[in-house]
């Protein structure tokens, strides 16, 4: 699979001098974005470990990623999930650092985070950490690959974690469909395998065969994890020479056992796996059509990018496209296409269509139109202007790529290193640069009825299937679909005007940067009228031709009842639906937009190149001003939303717990079942009547940031006001000061534990239960904010280690901060098959008692280290305009307007004493704390239904208060005041 040249060479910007003399260097020019000032160097250590070093003097975070060219394809027969299990185990401990969880603890306490994932042919481990801690972090990380400890006790515990992870996935349609597609392939190909592993494959079955899983794990590690099959990326602030010295000293002891690159020749599909129609019963409501073809992998021709060209056309949504026609007929809600699962040896091209109920009845016509469009592409040649457009879009996207967090960046590059030659490690396959009609035609010629696989998912197939997939229990049946049948579908499909797209008017041509007259660090209010308020922040950090726009339309009637909330949602979805044919090109060209409902009305967001932004924004506003309700599209949107509501019950138990918590705490939120009931009775005429009333009272909060001049921002907002408020037939009127909306949060009672028990809504989820324990602490306050943040930083990893790794309560076991409109607290979230929620709550209390001792005994040096880590995190520079704007918009939308929040919090942290943190914990968080306010949301799975009955009927423990009716409770409690004053209270 590895197509890299094997000569030893260097990717260097030469700014940092030559590499260590022990390594021969051959200069290779790395292809990198035009605006990328970082230094890159490739080195190969004496043990054949291939490394890419990245020096970024501007970074606040260091990061590293190790890609190992070993995935679940290498799992031994009868030990399914072993590669994934090994990924889990390497985090535990090593000979050099034998204390369990010391790696994760070190990373967490020094401002970082860790993760890993396993795919078919590689396993990737990665982390980030504060800059000055890279040396120690790398030392711990390297031990994964030198001498890990895999104790018998830890091995057994982590099998339970893998099993819990699998339990979480069992009722997930994406996991189920992925495994079914693998199952219906040749069982001689590793693609057929079950990748995750579970208790049965890693404990029960091996024991039955007389195997010791731990010994198998160690043997797998020793024979597969070889330095010559690894690719390392290290990202830091230091010079390339210094990073190289660090890498050589840390990673030179990884063994090279000379393992050859693993190869899995052949395609997973044999002839019997083609020309099939598979009817599948999903968990969720809805009808999905997945059409797949085995094709030549795009990776073999990534410079030509044939799959990108083909998927651009098949997945297009503009006039004349397949989706445009299916949408016009009322048959489809969405369509996606592109290369899916792939390796160097095999690949699948897929088209995934979400069908409406009517579309489900016309499945044969949909397939017929799909093949008719493919025939059009096969016979109309490959116009070069389409390739040139794609090239322009891809080149611009690469050259003006936003800086991403270093951890994401290194993980992406290290996985590229397994596949691409060194000069293409950064660009990978993102810019097809060679026009090859033959390569494109070859892919198109593979999309035929002869080798098609059709997967058709619908609840309507219940009772009509005769087969069951063994790992997830998915019900399905298989029918033959010979090409003659497909041809009949093509012939009888409706005669529609399918054609190639028109040239894209949104491709940016002006990428110049505007002059910034005044370099300001914070947004300023540029303009205020009775209709709107405009905040503005020029780009002084990123120097890219991009803009970020947020506009909140505050409409008091938008969420005043379940009906109005649903109608507002229907309106925003219809608006996006109407804009799609026109604005799809904008998204393709890198200008993204969205119109979504929010707490006080609806929100318009635009992010991307500023060149054509005004054109798109004015079109969106024009659609709002002249909105018409189209009955046919209303029906499709209503159907889509109804399925969404009905599918709510299939959410994971921990997600249901989060929903109940929000419903209890937020003043004006409506339950999903009331909204579904309201939706069921709505007609198009209801929206026609509602919309003028909703828009009649509106105030628009605007934020414009990036490569845009103040005068232009003002002009755009004036145009919006002119269109909506000051035209001859204005749809909007100004909002009275008394009508400005605020989002307020329920204040819990001190000294009480409120608890809300509920049965899991998904009766098929027999084993999973969940707890969300929320500790409400304070409303936005500088000193208390930093105490809470520091406490969360100190407690996060010990909580994970105790509840997840030691007690094995479940795969999901976490502690994190919660912020509801400025009301802050801590929340524990656990999803478990081994304990009911009441007992999970008790385990949280037990952890807090344990942690109390840890906190009181914390050495001063450790306290100071945690404070410094938090300071470093706060001083971290924004990577891109999205990150910066998200922070400032948060201050504006919540009304806090503390644009210097981070600087003020850093100043407060520098003064903080350990005794203050202990006092904060003792007053607000510890078991029995006098100021403690608790809400315990308990979602019981079928396995724990008797425990649910017990908690309903038993008298509650002292200081516990059961919530039986959420809305009676919500009405009976006082609310925190809002920071958001009316527009009239803001001064320019």
CA distances in angstroms from 834 to 165, 771, 815, listed in the order given: 13, 12, 19
HSE value, Cβ hemisphere, 13 Å, CA-based, for 478: 17
SS3 954: coil
Per the DSSP assignment, residues forming a β-bridge with 818 are 825
* Tokens read off for 652: 């994971």
Question: Residue 524's beta-bridge partner residues?
Answer: 536
* Residue 737, CB-side half-sphere exposure with 13 Å CA sphere: 7
DSSP-assigned letters across all residues of 300-367:
GGTTT-HHHHHHHHHT--STTSHHHHHHHTT-EEEEEEEEEEE-SS-EEEEEEEEE-HHHHHTHHHHH
Q: Are 277 and 355 in contact (CB under 8 A)?
A: no
Whole-number Å distance between alpha carbons of 297 and 349 = 9
d(CA 564, CA 569): 9
Reference 539, options 552, 520, 525; nearest CA is 520
- Cβ atoms < 10 Å from Cβ of 262: 17
3-class DSSP state for residue 369?
A: helix
Output the CA–CA distances (angstroms, integers) from residue 898 to 2, 876, 904, in the order listed. Answer: 51, 17, 9
Instruction: Point out which residues pair with 529 in neighbouring strands.
Output: none
Name the β-bridge partners of 593.
Answer: 606
Q: How many whole angstroms separate alpha carbon 595 and alpha carbon 604? A: 5
527 CB-contact burial (10 Å; exposed 0-12 / middle 13-18 / buried 19+): middle
- 8-state DSSP, 204: I
Angle at 427 (CA atoms; ends 422, 428), nearest 5 degrees: 70
Question: Are 312 and 325 within 8 A, CB to CB?
Answer: no
DSSP labels, 92-121: SEESSS-STTHHHHHHHHTT-EEEEEE-SS
Q: Show the tokens assigned to 270.
A: 């044999």
Is the C-alpha dihedral spanning 445, 447, 450, 451 positive or negative?
A: positive
Query: Nearest CA to 563 among 487, 677, 462?
Result: 677
Phi/psi of residue 125, nearest 5 degrees: -115, 135
Return the bridge partners of 829, or none.
772, 814
d(CA 66, CA 602) in angstroms, rounded, equals 43
Q: How distant, in Å, are the alpha carbons of 19, 584, 603, 680, 897 from that of 591?
A: 41, 9, 17, 35, 28
Q: Give catalytic residues, as residue numbers.
A: 87, 158
Compute the distance between CA of residue 287 and CA of residue 635 in angstroms, rounded to an integer. Answer: 16
Of 793, 798, 791, which Cα lies nearest the Cα of 813? 798
Structure letter (DSSP) for residue 188: T
How far is 936 from 798, CA to CA, in rounded Å? 21
How far is residue 52 CA from its own chain's centroid? Answer: 26
Residues present in the chain in total: 988
Distances (CA, A) of 509 to 374, 451, 501, 611: 31, 42, 20, 7
Give how far the C-alpha of residue 385 lies from the chain's centroid of Cα atoms, to the nearest Å: 34
With vertex at residue 320, the alpha carbon angle to CA 316 and CA 323, rounded to the nearest 5 degrees, is 50
């Amino acid at each position: 699979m590895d197509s890299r040249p094997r000569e030893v060479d260097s990717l260097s910007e030469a700014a940092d001098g030559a590499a260590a003399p022990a390594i021969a260097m051959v200069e290779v020019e790395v292809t990198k974005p035009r605006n990328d000032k970082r230094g890159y160097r490739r080195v190969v250590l004496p043990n054949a470990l291939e490394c890419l070093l990245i020096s970024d003097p501007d970074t606040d975070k260091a990061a590293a990623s190790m890609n190992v060219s070993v995935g679940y394809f290498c799992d031994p027969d009868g030990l399914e999930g072993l590669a994934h299990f090994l990924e889990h185990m390497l985090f535990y401990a090593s000979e050099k650092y034998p204390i369990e969880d010391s790696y994760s603890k070190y990373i967490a306490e020094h401002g970082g985070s860790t993760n890993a994932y396993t795919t078919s042919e590689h396993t990737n481990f990665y982390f980030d950490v504060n800059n000055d801690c890279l040396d120690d972090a790398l030392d711990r990380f390297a031990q994964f690959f030198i001498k890990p400890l895999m104790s018998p006790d830890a091995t057994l515990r982590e099998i339970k974690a893998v099993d819990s992870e699998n339990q979480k996935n069992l009722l997930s349609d994406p996991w189920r469909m992925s495994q079914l597609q693998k199952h219906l392939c040749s069982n001689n190909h590793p693609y057929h395998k079950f990748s995750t592993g579970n208790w049965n494959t890693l404990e029960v079955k091996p024991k039955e065969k007389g195997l010791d899983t731990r010994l198998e794990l160690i043997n797998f590690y020793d024979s597969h994890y070889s330095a010559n099959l690894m690719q390392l990326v290290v990202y830091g602030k230091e010079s390339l020479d210094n990073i190289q010295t660090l890498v050589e000293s840390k990673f030179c002891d990884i063994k090279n056992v000379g393992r050859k690159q693993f190869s899995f020749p052949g395609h997973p599909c044999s002839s019997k796996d083609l020309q099939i129609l598979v009817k599948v019963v999903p968990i969720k409501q809805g009808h999905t059509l997945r059409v797949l073809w085995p094709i030549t992998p795009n990776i073999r021709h990534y410079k030509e990018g044939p799959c990108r060209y083909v998927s651009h056309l098949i997945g297009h949504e503009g006039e004349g496209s397949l989706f445009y026609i299916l949408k016009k007929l009322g048959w489809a809600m969405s369509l996606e296409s592109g290369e899916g699962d792939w390796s160097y040896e095999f690949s699948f091209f897929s088209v995934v269509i979400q069908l409406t109920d009517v579309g489900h009845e016309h499945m044969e016509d949909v397939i017929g139109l799909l093949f008719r469009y493919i025939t059009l592409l096969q016979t109309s040649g490959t116009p070069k202007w389409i390739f040139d457009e794609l090239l322009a879009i891809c080149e611009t996207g690469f050259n003006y790529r936003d800086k991403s967090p270093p951890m994401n960046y290194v993980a992406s590059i290290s996985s590229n290193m397994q596949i691409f030659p060194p000069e293409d490690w950064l660009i990978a396959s993102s810019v097809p640069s060679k026009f090859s009609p033959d390569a494109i035609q070859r892919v198109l010629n593979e999309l035929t009825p002869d080798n098609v696989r059709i997967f058709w998912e619908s609840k309507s197939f219940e009772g009509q299937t005769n087969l069951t997939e063994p790992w997830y229990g998915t019900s399905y049946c298989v029918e033959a679909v010979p090409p003659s049948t497909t041809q009949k579908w093509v012939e009888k499909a409706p005669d529609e005007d399918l054609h190639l797209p028109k040239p894209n008017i949104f491709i940016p041509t002006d990428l110049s940067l505007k002059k910034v007259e005044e370099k300001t660090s914070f947004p300023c209010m540029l303009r205020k009228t009775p209709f709107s308020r405009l905040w503005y922040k020029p780009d002084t950090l990123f120097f890219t031709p991009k803009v970020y726009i947020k506009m909140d339309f505050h409409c008091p009637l938008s969420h005043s009842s379940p009906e109005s909330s649903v109608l507002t949602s229907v309106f925003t979805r219809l608006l996006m639906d109407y804009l799609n044919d026109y604005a799809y090109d904008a998204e393709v060209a890198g200008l993204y937009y969205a119109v979504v409902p929010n707490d006080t009305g609806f929100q318009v967001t635009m992010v991307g190149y500023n060149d054509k932004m005004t054109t798109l924004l004015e079109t969106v506003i024009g659609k709002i001003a002249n909105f018409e309700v189209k009955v046919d599209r209303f029906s499709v949107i209503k159907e889509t939303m109804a399925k969404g509501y009905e599918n709510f019950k299939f959410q994971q138990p921990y997600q249901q717990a989060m929903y109940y918590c929000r419903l209890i705490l937020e003043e004006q939120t409506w339950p999903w079942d009331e909204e579904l009931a309201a939706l069921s009775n709505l007609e198009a005429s209801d929206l026609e009547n509602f919309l003028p009333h909703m828009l009649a009272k509106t105030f628009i909060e605007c934020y414009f940031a990036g490569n845009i001049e103040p005068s232009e921002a003002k002009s755009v907002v004036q145009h919006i006001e002119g269109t909506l408020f000051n035209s001859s037939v204005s749809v909007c009127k100004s909002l009275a000061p008394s009508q400005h909306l605020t989002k307020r949060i329920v204040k819990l009672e001190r000294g009480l534990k409120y608890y809300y028990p509920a049965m899991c809504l998904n009766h098929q989820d027999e084993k999973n239960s969940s707890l969300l324990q929320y500790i409400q602490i304070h409303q936005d306050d500088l000193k208390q904010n930093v105490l809470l943040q520091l406490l969360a930083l100190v407690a996060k990893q010990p909580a994970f280690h105790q509840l997840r790794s030691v007690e094995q309560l479940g795969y999901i076991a976490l502690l994190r901060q919660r912020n509801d409109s400025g009301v802050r607290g801590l929340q524990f979230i656990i999803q478990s098959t081994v304990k009911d929620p009441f007992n999970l709550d008790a385990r949280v209390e037990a952890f807090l008692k344990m942690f109390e001792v840890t906190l009181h005994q914390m050495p001063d040096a450790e306290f100071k280290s945690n404070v410094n880590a938090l300071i470093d995190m706060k001083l971290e520079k924004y990577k891109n305009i999205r990150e910066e704007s998200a922070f400032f918009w948060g201050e504006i939308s919540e009304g806090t307007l503390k644009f210097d929040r981070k600087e003020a919090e850093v100043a407060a942290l520098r003064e903080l004493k350990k005794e203050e943190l202990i006092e904060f914990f003792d007053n607000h968080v510890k078991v029995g704390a006098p100021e403690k306010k608790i809400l315990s949301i308990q979602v019981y799975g079928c396995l724990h239904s008797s425990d649910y009955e017990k908690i309903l009927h038993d008298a509650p423990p002292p200081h516990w208060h059961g919530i039986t009716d959420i809305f009676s409770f919500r009405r009976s409690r006082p609310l925190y005041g809002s920071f958001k004053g009316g527009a009239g209270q803001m001064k320019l």
